[in-house]
Structure 1
Amino acid sequence: MQDRGIWFWAIILPIIFTVLFISVFTSGLNETESRQVILSIVPGYTVMFVFFIMISMAESLLKDQKIGMVARIASTPLSNHFYLLGKWIPYMYIVFIQIVILLLFGKAVYDVPMEQPLLLMMLAIFLTFMVTGIGLALSVMVKTTNMGIALTQVIALGGALLGGLWVPVDMMPEFLQAVSRFMPQYWAHQGFQDAMAGTLKMADFMKVSLVLLGIGVAGFILALLRPKQ
Structure 2
Amino acid sequence: MNAVIHMEVKKNLQDRGLLFWALLLPIIFTVLFISIFTAGTGGEEKRQVILSIVPGYTVMFLFFIMISMTESFIKDRNTGIVSRIASTPLSPYAYLLGKWVPYMYIVFIQIVVLLSFGKLIYDVPLKQPLWLLLISLFLTFTVTGLGLALSVIVKTNNMGIAFTQVIALGGAMLGGLWVPVDVMPETLQTISHLLPQYWAHQALQEAMGGTMEAMGLLQPLLILFCFGLGGFIIALISYPRFLQRAKG
TM-score (norm 2): 0.91
Moved more, 68-77 or 177-186: 68-77
Within a 5 Å distance, the mapping from 1:157-172 to structure 2 comes to 157-172=169-184
Within a 5 Å distance, the mapping from 1:65-144 to structure 2 comes to 65-144=77-156
Distance in 1, matches of 2:54 and 2:176, equals 13
Q: Per the alignment, in what secondary structure is the counterpart of residue 142 of structure 2?
A: helix
What is the aligned counterpart of 1:34 among 35, 46, 49? Answer: 46
**Residue 219 in 1 paired to residue 231 in 2?**
yes
Aligned-partner residue type, residue 151 of structure 1: F
**Residue 188 in 1 paired to residue 181 in 2?**
no
**How many pairs does the alignment contain?**
229
Displaced runs of 4+ in structure 1, greater than 3 A? none
Distance in 1, matches of 2:227 and 2:132, equals 19
What is the aligned counterpart of 2:68 among 45, 51, 56? Answer: 56
Identity %: 68
Distance in 2, matches of 1:188 and 1:75, equals 40
**Residue 13 in 1 paired to residue 25 in 2?**
yes
Q: What whole-Å deviation, never above 9, does each CA across 1:54-90 have from its counterpart, x for those lacking one?
A: 0000011101001101111112221111000000000
Distance in 2, matches of 1:204 and 1:148, equals 35
How large is the Cα RMSD of the aligned pairs? 0.7
TM-score (norm 1): 0.99
Residue of structure 1 in register with 2:187 after alignment: 175
Distance in 2, matches of 1:4 and 1:171, equals 39
